[in-house]
A and B are shown apart, each in its own frame.
Chain A
Amino acid sequence: MGLDLTALSRQVRQMSGAAALRVADTAERTAHAVSRYRESAGEERHWARAADLSRESASWLLAHPVEPLGTARGLPERPESYALVASDGSQIDLDRHGSVACYLINIGRVFLRYGEDPLARLSSEPALYYRDEDLYLTDGARRVAIEGNYLSARRDVDEGVALVGLADEFLSDGLPCMALQDGTLIRWALSGAERFVQEHFLERYLAYLDAMRERGVPVASYISRPRSPEVVGTIRLMLCPDVDVAAGRGAKCDECSDVADGREPSCAVCQGLVDTDVLAGQLTEGQRGPLFISMSRINVEDYREHTIHFFHMRVGRELARVEIPQWVAQDPEQVDLIHALVYDQAARGDGYPVALARAHEQAVVRSADRRTFQSILEGSLYRAEAGASASAKKDSKSFIRG
């Protein structure tokens, strides 16, 4: 017997009821947070400083405003012709119960050119990794297997390297251009990693950003329906009784004065809110909100001149989050270009950038392909007389035994 759907559906109904109650509560708290955010218009320098002061001691994520909080910039004019490259990856992770230690990364590569001479090139490039240096990172006597999060980190690097290759191949004709990625440019997954692992992947990732910068190709990433609460974190500072910028004091959640006095923390209204709840009201179709710097530790401490900035943009019923490195964010023309091109891509793709949808289609490894890959692998190992077999556990799961 697999999933007991009768038992499950009762719980699903209960969950729906609870969700409906939460909606009303969230709406009220959102209104409160939004009004506090709007009151602070014009004080962005002040709150930027507060975010800097609180970076180490606040227990939430923070955003450092770079532009006026009320910014709602209209859609800039799009160049007649433009080109872009995009990449996306998928992987088959190391199967500990499988017959041999290896993993596969499949990178979807996209080039699109619009305008006078339209052209598209879509392709995918698989790579199988099985050597010791691919499977493990070593630092002296320590050895860390590249799987799970670390495999994702490796894939992120490979996606970046693919973009550099695409830029060299296609983006040298002087047309306005960009490189677009899916998801975030901030490598969160690495923040909890051991230092040498972090350095290994970040060095390569930042080298990719360096390479794009040298080529003059602005990089951006697109997050559909982002759930990050970084701007909300800064609103928490606005509500915090302990922040005193003039005295050089940021929020210290360990020594919260509200909690010490036995009250609920003043920032509790922000619990569970996300940035898009706050910014949704100020942006109409195609407009973008203010630029912020993400204050996550890995971004502030390790990204150098690539420090990731972000803005939100209205695309239909959703706000998308667009991330760009500092060298793009500091050039207003480039920011406008990214704004216009990303919006155009989303509009052509009915709400999600065409280039990313195509890159995903190229990269995705379907379950049928996965099975074929497994059987090719096993057949080939058998013929090579490499003496491979799956674990007893895996064998036992392959069918129900009578």
Chain B
Amino acid sequence: MQRIGEVIESSTTRFTAGAYELLEAPPFGSLVRAQTRSEGMAVYGLVYEIRTGSKEPGGRAVMRGRTYSGRNLYDGEIYHEHPDLAEVLQTEFSAITVGFVEGGRCYQYLPPHPPPVHYSVYPSDDAELAGFCESSDFFRSVLFAAQIPSDELLSAAIRAAARARPDSRDYLVRAGRELASLLKDDYDRLTALLRRIRP
């Protein structure tokens, strides 16, 4: 699959990538793969935030829907009339690190090093996503990660994984059981999560 972005900020637990095409970030909750310096190793992350703004630090977009002569421009027309916007705005997405692949084996814990800045980020296809979700060890890292919408993120990831598998329903039931064991002390949170992944 074609690379969609490049790492611009990186730390042990999460990384941020700039998207090569404006407004074309991978969807919330999707699994992305960042290349590392060793050939057979890549880091997996779940996209938890997408944002678009000025490339300039502190810069902001200005309103462009009403032109100087009073003509109204809507949505896509604005980008068509101002091709320079694609050069000065940037779409970024951040992902929480949920595992890595090395030598063909998948591990659902933190890699020894985060992906290097400027290395490529790829989306994962259905087969890769289904393969990654064979194990549910990453549920825990997502549920207990700080400062991210963790319940929304995990449910979005589970729904995406279910769509990518032929045994969607079975998978959802399995994931629900896993959640129940992780959240046995928090009934309210569990039910809210289960409602989000109900088949």
By a beta-carbon cutoff of 8 Å, the part of chain A in contact with chain B is 110, 112-114, 118-122, 316, 346-348, 350-351, 354, 358, 361
Residue from B56, B84, B86, B87 with most neighbouring chain A CB atoms (10 Å): B84
Residue of B nearest to A115 (CB): B80
Number of A-B residue pairs having CB atoms within 8 Å of each other in the complex: 37
- Known contacts A122-B88, A358-B88, A361-B88; is A347 also within 8 Å of B83 by CB? no
Can you list 6 A-B pairs with a CB-CB distance of less than 8 A? A113-B83, A122-B84, A348-B68, A348-B82, A350-B68, A354-B84
* Residues on the B chain within 8 Å of A113, using CB: 83
Tell whether B2 is near chain A: CB-to-CB under 8 Å. no
Residue of A nearest to B69 (CB): A347
**B81 to A114, Cβ gap below 8 A?**
yes
Give CA–CA (A112, B85) in the complex, Å: 11
* Residues on the B chain within 8 Å of A361, using CB: 56, 88
Chain B interface residue bracket vs A: 10 to 19
- Known contacts A347-B67, A347-B68; is A118 also within 8 Å of B83 by CB? yes
Contact residues, B68-104 vs A (CB, 8 A): 68-69, 80-88
Chain B's nearest CB lies how many Å from the CB of A256? Answer: 46
Chain A's nearest CB lies how many Å from the CB of B20? Answer: 15
Chain B's nearest CB lies how many Å from the CB of A361? Answer: 7
* Residues on the B chain within 8 Å of A347, using CB: 67-69
By a beta-carbon cutoff of 8 Å, the part of chain B in contact with chain A is 56, 67-69, 80-88
* Residues on the A chain within 8 Å of B67, using CB: 347-348
Give CA–CA (A316, B67) in the complex, Å: 12
- Of A120, A316, A346, A350, which one neighbours B83 at CB under 8 angstroms? A120
Residue of A nearest to B62 (CB): A350
- Of B56, B69, B80, B82, which one neighbours A354 at CB under 8 angstroms? B82
**A122 to B87, Cβ gap below 8 A?**
yes
* Residues on the B chain within 8 Å of A112, using CB: 83-84
**A120 to B84, Cβ gap below 8 A?**
yes
**A316 to B56, Cβ gap below 8 A?**
no
* Residues on the B chain within 8 Å of A119, using CB: 83
Give CA–CA (A121, B84) in the complex, Å: 7
Give CA–CA (A350, B81) in the complex, Å: 13
Give CA–CA (A113, B82) in the complex, Å: 9
Give CA–CA (A347, B68) in the complex, Å: 5
* Residues on the B chain within 8 Å of A114, using CB: 81, 83
Residue from B80, B83, B85 with most neighbouring chain A CB atoms (10 Å): B83
* Residues on the A chain within 8 Å of B86, using CB: 120
In the A-B complex, the 6 residue pairs with the smallest Cβ-Cβ separation, listed nearest first, are A118-B83, A347-B68, A120-B83, A120-B84, A122-B87, A120-B87
* Residues on the B chain within 8 Å of A110, using CB: 84
Chain A's nearest CB lies how many Å from the CB of B83? Answer: 4
**B80 to A121, Cβ gap below 8 A?**
no
Chain A's nearest CB lies how many Å from the CB of B172? Answer: 44
Give CA–CA (A119, B67) in the complex, Å: 19
- Of A118, A120, A122, A351, which one neighbours B68 at CB under 8 angstroms? A351
Give CA–CA (A354, B69) in the complex, Å: 15
* Residues on the A chain within 8 Å of B84, using CB: 110, 112, 120, 122, 354, 358
Give CA–CA (A351, B68) in the complex, Å: 8
Chain B's nearest CB lies how many Å from the CB of A219? Answer: 21
* Residues on the A chain within 8 Å of B87, using CB: 120-122, 358
* Residues on the A chain within 8 Å of B85, using CB: 120
Give CA–CA (A119, B86) in the complex, Å: 9
Residue of B nearest to A316 (CB): B68
Give CA–CA (A316, B56) in the complex, Å: 28
Residue of B nearest to A118 (CB): B83
* Residues on the B chain within 8 Å of A121, using CB: 87
**B83 to A348, Cβ gap below 8 A?**
no
Give CA–CA (A217, B85) in the complex, Å: 25
* Residues on the B chain within 8 Å of A118, using CB: 80-81, 83
